[in-house]
Structure formats: C-alpha cells, structure tokens
C-alpha cells in the first residue's frame, strides 16, 4: 500500500494489520450529519509464534477534531488465535458526524507463554473518495 492511499499497513512483533474504509452513501444521511463508513481489517501472523487477539482499542477523530475512543474484548465477537502464516479478516462499521475522519488504534495480543503486546493499527482515512473495499 502506498503512502498516498487512505488505507494503512503496519507490522508489530510479526503481526501485520491492514485496514481500509469505504463510504456507505446509501446508509448515510448528510442532512442529519450521519456518515457511515464500513472498514475492512486483515490481521496476518507473519511471525514464528502463535498470537491470540484479546482486546481492541480504537481512536476515532472526525473533521471537527472530536475524539472518540472505543475499547472492548475481541473483534466483532471473536478472539482470533493465529498460528504463524494464518490470517483473520473482518468488516465492521463506524458512524461519523462529519463527512470525513480517521481511525487508528491497537489490538492486545497474547502469546502462548502468557506475554502480551500491543499491535499497532496504523491511521487510515474515512473519506468518501476512498476506493471500494466491499464487493457487491
């Protein structure tokens, strides 16, 4: 992925996280300041040790610099446990009060020996001009 792309691609301790968002025009109501974005995350274990996703932490900024933080267990109700070479992909959504914004954050992973680490989710952009991530 290029630096001019609205997506992100980060690698932390062998865990690669790729993120991209798509504007959902049919589900947005700009007159009511409701803009909905779908985002796709792909988590790949490129390391040599198993890692299980425990929690998520999102930082969402809208165009007015209003910050929202979201913390919780797993991702969309799951706790992917990835052996080396395995991937997990999911799609979720994010509502905004402005036409554009950004998301970034981290996932807490745990190794088989009990050690934990934070895998960075690089900043990606919620913008109407982003290329489609969803197939119809």
Is residue 133 a contact partner of residue 8, using CB atoms and an 8 Å limit?
no
Report pTM: 0.93
User: Within a 10 A sphere around the Cβ of 109, how many other Cβ atoms?
Assistant: 27
The 10s digit of each residue's pLDDT in 65-75 is 999 999 999 99
Determine, yes or no, domain membership for 3: no
pLDDT for the residue numbered 99: 97
* pLDDT tens over the chain, length 136 residues: 334 568 999 999 999 999 999 999 999 999 999 999 999 999 999 999 999 999 999 999 999 999 999 999 999 999 999 999 999 999 999 999 999 999 999 999 999 999 999 999 999 999 999 988 875 4
Number of domains in the chain: 1
Rounded (5°) CA angle 107-113-119? 15
Determine, yes or no, domain membership for 133: no
Q: Both tokens of residue 116?
A: 């934990």
Q: What's 93's domain CATH number?
A: 2.60.40.1470
Determine, yes or no, domain membership for 132: no
- Closest Cα partner for 67 from 77, 59, 75? 59
Determine, yes or no, domain membership for 1: no
Q: What is the mean pLDDT of the chain?
A: 94
Determine, yes or no, domain membership for 38: yes
């Amino acid at each position: 992925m290029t630096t001019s792309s609205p997506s992100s691609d980060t690698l932390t301790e062998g865990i690669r996280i790729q993120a991209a968002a798509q504007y959902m025009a049919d589900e947005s109501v700009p007159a009511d300041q409701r803009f909905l974005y779908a985002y796709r995350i792909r988590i790949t274990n490129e390391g040599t040790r198993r890692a299980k996703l425990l929690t998520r932490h999102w930082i969402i900024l809208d165009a007015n610099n209003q910050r929202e933080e979201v913390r919780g267990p797993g991702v969309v109700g799951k706790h992917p446990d990835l052996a080396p070479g395995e991937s997990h992909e999911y799609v979720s959504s994010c509502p905004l009060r402005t036409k554009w914004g950004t998301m970034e954050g981290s996932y807490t992973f745990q190794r088989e020996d009990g050690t934990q680490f934070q895998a960075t989710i690089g900043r990606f952009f919620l913008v109407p001009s982003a290329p489609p991530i969803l197939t119809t």
